[in-house]
Homo-oligomer: A and B are copies of this chain.
Amino acid sequence: MAEPVRTLIRGTGLLGASIGLGLRAAGAEVWLSDPSPTAEAIAEDIGAGTRVRGEAPEVELVVVAAPPEVTARETAAALLQHPEAAVIDIASVKVQILAELLAAAADETNPLSREHLARYVGTHPMAGREKSGPVAARGELFTSMPWVICPAEDPDTGEQLSGPEAVETAAEMARILGASAHRMPAATHDESVALISHLPQIAASLVASRLQEAPVGALALSGNGLRDVTRIAASDPNLWVQILSANARPVVEILYGLREDVERLISTLEAPTAPGGHADIAQLIAEGNAGVVRIPGKHGAPPQSFAVLTVIVDDKPGQIAAVLNDVASVGVNVEDLRMEHSAGHQVGMVELSVLPGRRDELAQALRGMGWKVVLT
C-alpha cells in the first residue's frame, strides 16, 4: 500500500474528523481547518490532526468535508489555494457540485479554470451515523464501507476533467481508510443514492413522523419491525435539506412511482371488497418481496445465504458472551447476530446467522452444552 500523503481536511464535522482520525492512524500528517473554532479544537483534541495556525500548510491532498451547500465554493477555493494538491470532496451528491464547479470555471470573472479541475475528484463515502459533529467521529467509520469515486467529466461533451493522478490519490485514500472504492459517473451515483439512501431516509421519516401523535398504549406494542423501519429517522434535518434539494430530480422521479403505489393502495383500501382489490394489495407486497431479495448481503455475498438459529438467554451480564464462546469452541463463524427484545421481559433471544452447512452441527453442540436452541 502506498504511503499516506500530507493532507489538509477542510471541515471537521463527523466525516472530516473521522477521515483525520483514520489517516492519522495510518501514519499520515493531517492538518485541519473549520469555520467553527470549537469544531476545529475538538477535532484536534480527539487526535484527528493539527489545526492550521497562520499560513496554509503545503499538502498533497485537500479533503473538502463541508456541508453540501458550500462544498463547490470550498472546493474551488482549495484548488486555487493549493496549486499542487489533489482536491476531493465527500458530499452525498455529486452532479450539482460538479455543475457548480463547471459554472465557476466558465465564468470569466472567476479565477477558477477548467484546467484546475484536473486536480479535482468528487467522492462519497457511504458511511455515516445518526449522530453528527467531531465528537461522534471515529477513524473506523469507513471500514468495510463502499466509497464512491466519481472522476469529473463534462456532462455535455463527456470530456474527462479529473486527471489520473488525482483519481489514484482519491482511491488510495479510500483504501487506507479501509473502504472499498466504487468508480462511477456522477449521474449514476446520484441516481443510485436517490434509491438506496435518500428513499429509505424519506420513508423512515414519513413513518416516524406519523408516530408523533400516537397514543402511548399503541407505542407500547412496538416491535422490531417498527424499530428497524424508523431507525434512520433520527437523522439531521439541516443536512438532509441540503442533500435532498441538491439531488431533487432523481429523488422526485422515484417519489412519482411511490406516489402512484400509495394512490393505488388508498383506492384499494377505500373499497377493499371491490373486484381486483385483493390482487392490488398482494401485488404491492409481492413486489416488495422481489425487491428486498436483491439487496446484497454481508461481504457482497448473495442475499439471504445464511441459516439462522435462535438461542434463548437470560438478560444478565455474560449470557451472550457465554453463548458466543460456546459457538467459537465449535469453530463456527457468526455471520450476523440480532437480538430480539420487546417491552416487559427479562429474557432475550439471540438470532445467529451461520453458513447453512454448519447450522445443525452447531445447534446440536449448543444443546449439548445446555443452551435452549430453536431451529427454524
Judged by a CB distance under 8 angstroms, whether A369 is at the interface is no
Contact B295 A209 (CB under 8 A): no
Judged by a CB distance under 8 angstroms, whether A50 is at the interface is no
Nearest B residue to A273 via CB reads B245
Complex alpha-carbon distance, A144 and B327, angstroms: 24
Complex alpha-carbon distance, A129 and B349, angstroms: 13
Nearest B residue to A345 via CB reads B144
Complex alpha-carbon distance, A289 and B234, angstroms: 5
Known: A199-B207, A211-B195, A310-B138. Is A331-B317 also a contact (CB below 8 A)? yes
Chain A binding surface, main DSSP class: helix
The stretch from A27-35, A99-107, A217-225 touching chain B is: A217-225
Q: Which residues of B contact A203 (CB under 8 A)?
A: 203-204, 206-207, 229
Nearest B residue to A324 via CB reads B321
Q: Which residues of B contact A59 (CB under 8 A)?
A: none
Q: Which residues of B contact A265 (CB under 8 A)?
A: 202, 255
Q: Which residues of B contact A273 (CB under 8 A)?
A: 245
Judged by a CB distance under 8 angstroms, whether A367 is at the interface is no
Size of the chain A interface, CB-CB below 8 angstroms: 144
Interface residues of A in 60-74 (CB under 8 A from B): none
Nearest B residue to A301 via CB reads B343
Judged by a CB distance under 8 angstroms, whether A192 is at the interface is yes
Contact A287 B214 (CB under 8 A): no
Judged by a CB distance under 8 angstroms, whether A38 is at the interface is no
Complex alpha-carbon distance, A182 and B203, angstroms: 29
Contact B321 A233 (CB under 8 A): no
Judged by a CB distance under 8 angstroms, whether A80 is at the interface is no
Q: Which one, B126, B342, B349, contacts A342 given CB within 8 A?
A: B126
Judged by a CB distance under 8 angstroms, whether A109 is at the interface is no
* Most chain B CB inside 10 Å of its own CB: which residue of A127, A203, A226: A203
Judged by a CB distance under 8 angstroms, whether A83 is at the interface is no
Q: Which one, B184, B192, B227, B323, contacts A295 given CB within 8 A?
A: B227
Judged by a CB distance under 8 angstroms, whether A169 is at the interface is no
Complex alpha-carbon distance, A191 and B217, angstroms: 11
Complex alpha-carbon distance, A200 and B369, angstroms: 39
Nearest B residue to A327 via CB reads B321
Contact A219 B188 (CB under 8 A): no
Q: Which one, B208, B218, B259, contacts A288 given CB within 8 A?
A: B208
Contact B259 A266 (CB under 8 A): yes
Judged by a CB distance under 8 angstroms, whether A26 is at the interface is no
Q: Which residues of B contact A345 (CB under 8 A)?
A: 143-144, 178, 180, 299
Complex alpha-carbon distance, A223 and B299, angstroms: 11
Known: A143-B312, A245-B269, A300-B220. Is A281-B240 also a contact (CB below 8 A)? yes
Nearest B residue to A350 via CB reads B337
Contact B282 A226 (CB under 8 A): no
Complex alpha-carbon distance, A210 and B241, angstroms: 22
Judged by a CB distance under 8 angstroms, whether A333 is at the interface is yes
Q: Which residues of B contact A154 (CB under 8 A)?
A: none
Contact A226 B200 (CB under 8 A): yes
Judged by a CB distance under 8 angstroms, whether A114 is at the interface is no
14 contacts between A and B (CB under 8 A): A144-B349, A146-B342, A206-B288, A207-B288, A209-B288, A211-B294, A237-B283, A252-B270, A255-B265, A259-B266, A318-B325, A321-B325, A322-B328, A325-B325
The 6 A-B pairs at the shortest CB distance, nearest first, are namely A205-B288, A321-B324, A318-B328, A144-B345, A192-B218, A211-B291
